[in-house]
Amino acid sequence: MHIKVCGNTRLDQVYQLDEMGVEFAGFIFYHKSPRYVVGKIAEDGLKKARLKINKVGVFVNSDYDEVMKNVEKYGLYMVQLHGDESPRLCERISDQVPIIKVFRIKEEDNVDWKIREYRDVSDLFLFDTDWHSYGGSGKKFDWKVLDNVFINKPFLLSGGIGIDEVSELKTFANGNQREHFFAVDVNSKLESSPGVKDMKKVKQFVDALR
């Protein structure tokens, strides 16, 4: 499975992730997040960085113009929509750049119903823990709620994932959704402070998963 490390605020650490073979790096463009990237990584620095890693911009209820402006300024390869974006907006953005649509999950959710209008307008899905704010809960939801969902699209798992979850991730990767389980998204459990990764923990996680 692929690995996405989200909430990056230091370019030197992104280079280290690249060297480790991590496939995706997330950069948060939500101003209320403690991992807000603007002012922490220079636009040109990220845009011109020679990296194999896929640069993913994370947005929450931003409009089309704001998303595309930052795609250009920072040289983003993908966009992750983490708010309550409409299928129409997803479709419009996905015509320009691949998108990951995020769904925040509670145990009682009808996941089939939540994702039904987004199947044809998103490139990937991401399932995260439902929380009182957008992202950064550090809590894991019950992945079993996905077992019998007709997802039919590559998806990422997120929410409170760290080294302790590696064994469970490997089990899930061989379960009902093995055909479409594409990547794991990690963030706060591998940090020393918000936006600053503990690179020893990241390497330990990458090595254990692979």
Q: What is the pLDDT of residues 132-181, one digit of tens each?
A: 555 555 688 999 999 999 999 999 999 999 999 999 999 999 999 999 99
Pick the closest to residue 169 from 179, 149, 158 (CA basis). Answer: 158
* Band of residue 111 on the pLDDT scale cut at 50, 70, 90: very high
Please tell me whether the overall predicted TM-score, pTM, comes out greater than 0.85 for this model.
yes
The percentage of the chain sitting over the pLDDT mark of 90, rounded to a whole number, equals: 92
14 torsion bin: left (phi>0), alpha (psi -120 to 50), beta (else) = alpha
| Distance separating alpha carbons of residues 82 and 127, to the nearest angstrom | 10
Cα dihedral 182, 11, 104, 169, rounded to 10, equals 40
Measured in whole angstroms, the distance separating CA 97 from the mean position of its chain's CA atoms is: 15
Candidates 76, 70, 37; CA nearest to 53 is 76
The CATH number of the structural domain formed by 2-209 is: 3.20.20.70
| Domain residue limits, the chain | 2-209
Q: What is the pLDDT of residue 138?
A: 64
pLDDT in tens, 42-86: 999 999 999 999 999 999 999 999 999 999 999 999 999 999 999
